Amino acid sequence: MTENKFSNLNIEQILAGFKNKTFSSFELTSYYLDKIKNDKLNAFISINDQVLAEAKKADSKIAQGEMAKLTGVPIAIKDILLVKGQRATGASKMLENYIAPYTATAIKKLEDQGAIILGKTNCDEFAMGASNENSAFGPVLNPHDTSRVPGGSSGGSAAAIAADLAPIALGTDTGGSIRQPAAFCGLVGLKPSYGRVSRYGSMAMASSLDQIGPFSKSVKDAAYLLQIMAGRDKYDLSASYNVVPDYFSLLKNQEPRKLKVGLPKEYFSDALAPSIKQALDKTIDFLQEQKIVVEKVSLPYTEYALAAYYILMPAEVSSNLARLDGLRFGHHENNDLNLDDWYKKVRAAGFSAESKRRIMLGTYILSAGYYDAYYKQAQKLRTVIKQDFQKVFAKVDVLLTPTTPTTAFKLGEKLADPLSMYLADIFTVSANIAGICGLSLPMGVDENNLPIGIQLLADSFQEEKLFSLGNFIEQNI
């Protein structure tokens, strides 16, 4: 497709375009809507039919000089997040026709700054997956190569930006679902620290691991969006009272050269794809040229992270998805079954194979007799994994690692083998287990022209370090 004045804009360029009258929000929104309507990637589940009217309203505000931080800026939203009056499916047959009764706090904060919602993006059912093939609405394709997956579970949000169907998007990250699709689609993806952004209005997958975060084309945009979304919320007591720093200004003022970077040896195994290893080497060379201290560190419990995640996560999933029973939430057919048969029928028909697998696993893990053997042991691992990070963050500011062991894989490649699919999360789950923050940054392409992602990790509530170093790398490599 030919480039035009709307192509590949970031937030700064959009706001400048509105201000200088190069284009209106209505024109820009129409550009995205046309592209969404012709989309062959299956990136969206639903379109907001009010968005053009909202863009018009934004234009009149702009004409009156009333510009908030995102007035008239369109955004795509993962269909796990609620927007009042709009359909919210969780990419599940279970909630096919569910209309959200309220708006997620993170989205409300963006709307309060004038953002307008293009629509809801496709994802893995209830955010469970690493390829976006577990959606009741069909898989999403990777715009860089349509025979490949965009990553999961927030694949629709990532594909939408990479195909320029939206300039920015929101996703959720429970074990890597923002960072991994960002890596596969060549974008910036941020998993904020646990508690940095309210989870109110996000369909719960694993409540102690879930976080809402942005996808964008630049680190600056991610900082700008976090700035708006972060902070306390009376509707989510796990949302932190910690002061929200001015991430956006800090990005310009902080001195990235003062940050110490650690390379955890457990993340640099021989199993890593050679092209990803090269992208990391290039980054390390650059940091050293810039006289940034780079040192090897160790996180010895890393090898248990994936096992701990795949115990803790399904335990929480089985409990969170219990409300989807066709009585409180979820589809049902009118019939006069007894309660047992009702549950069996509704849940068998409404959930995908992956959801059922995790519900069964989680129920087993939490059942009397197995709780101590599995759940309690995994909780102990969680503690030592956290301690690993505490120790290294006493020495270094930021860790540099791969985001994924490979670049985007083929559709269907891992579908029949859940264990190989779970291995795709090997470098991302630890951040969720420990509650720290992580950023995936694009770093070139592999031999098949597929994007490569590198990951920066920082201690809880130190997102400004990720932004500072991430922006420095993005601007200079």
Nearer to ligand GLN by Cβ, of 74 and 90: the residue is 90
Nearer to ligand GLN by Cβ, of 261 and 313: the residue is 313
Question: For ligand GLN, what does the binding mask look like between residues 291 and 330, x meaning CB under 6 A?
Answer: ----------------------x-----------------
- The 8-class DSSP code of residue 267 comes to G
- Shortest approach of ligand GLN to residue 256 CB, angstroms? 28
The reply on whether position 264 binds ligand GLN by CB under 6 A is no
Nearest to 137 by CA among 150, 149, 127, 123: 123
- Shortest approach of ligand GLN to residue 270 CB, angstroms? 23
| Cβ 468 vs Cβ 256: under 8 Å | yes
The reply on whether position 361 binds ligand GLN by CB under 6 A is no
| Cβ 216 vs Cβ 251: under 8 Å | no
Encoded amino acid at 156, one letter:
G
Stretch that binds ligand GLN, among 3-11, 33-41, 125-133, 405-413 (CB under 6 A): 125-133
Following CA atoms 26, 29, 37, 228 in sequence, which dihedral angle do they give, to the nearest 10 degrees? -150
- Shortest approach of ligand GLN to residue 222 CB, angstroms? 17
- Shortest approach of ligand GLN to residue 82 CB, angstroms? 16
* The residue to which tokens 């209505």 are assigned: 26
For residue 16, count other CB atoms closer than 10 A to its CB. Answer: 12
Nearer to ligand GLN by Cβ, of 8 and 420: the residue is 420
Residues 46-85 that bind ligand GLN (CB under 6 A): none
Residues 377-436 that bind ligand GLN (CB under 6 A): 425
Which one of 25, 71, 122, 177 is in contact with ligand GLN (CB under 6 A)?
177
The reply on whether position 459 binds ligand GLN by CB under 6 A is no
Nearer to ligand GLN by Cβ, of 114 and 213: the residue is 213
- Shortest approach of ligand GLN to residue 364 CB, angstroms? 17
End-to-end CA distance of the chain: 27
Nearer to ligand GLN by Cβ, of 86 and 432: the residue is 432
Instruction: Report the catalytic residues.
Output: 78, 153, 177
Nearer to ligand GLN by Cβ, of 108 and 414: the residue is 414
The reply on whether position 174 binds ligand GLN by CB under 6 A is yes
| Cβ 189 vs Cβ 470: under 8 Å | no
Spatial strand order of the sheet with 294-297 comes to: 44-47, 116-121, 74-78, 169-173, 211-216, 188-191, 437-445, 451-458, 398-402, 261-264, 294-297
| Cβ 100 vs Cβ 86: under 8 Å | yes
**Do the bridges between strand 169-173 and strand 211-216 make them parallel or antiparallel, or are there none, so unpaired?**
antiparallel
- Shortest approach of ligand GLN to residue 155 CB, angstroms? 11
Which one of 175, 181, 201, 438 is in contact with ligand GLN (CB under 6 A)?
175
φ, ψ dihedrals at 244, nearest 5°: -90, 115
Nearer to ligand GLN by Cβ, of 176 and 192: the residue is 176
| Cβ 273 vs Cβ 406: under 8 Å | yes
The reply on whether position 153 binds ligand GLN by CB under 6 A is yes
- Shortest approach of ligand GLN to residue 419 CB, angstroms? 12
| Cβ 172 vs Cβ 197: under 8 Å | no
The reply on whether position 129 binds ligand GLN by CB under 6 A is yes
Q: What is the 3-state secondary structure (H, E, C) of 66-124?
A: CCCCCCCCEEEEECCECCCCCECCCCCHHHCCCECCCCCHHHHHHHHCCCEEEEEECCC
The reply on whether position 205 binds ligand GLN by CB under 6 A is yes
Residues that bind ligand GLN (CB under 6 A): 127-130, 152-153, 172-177, 205, 313, 425
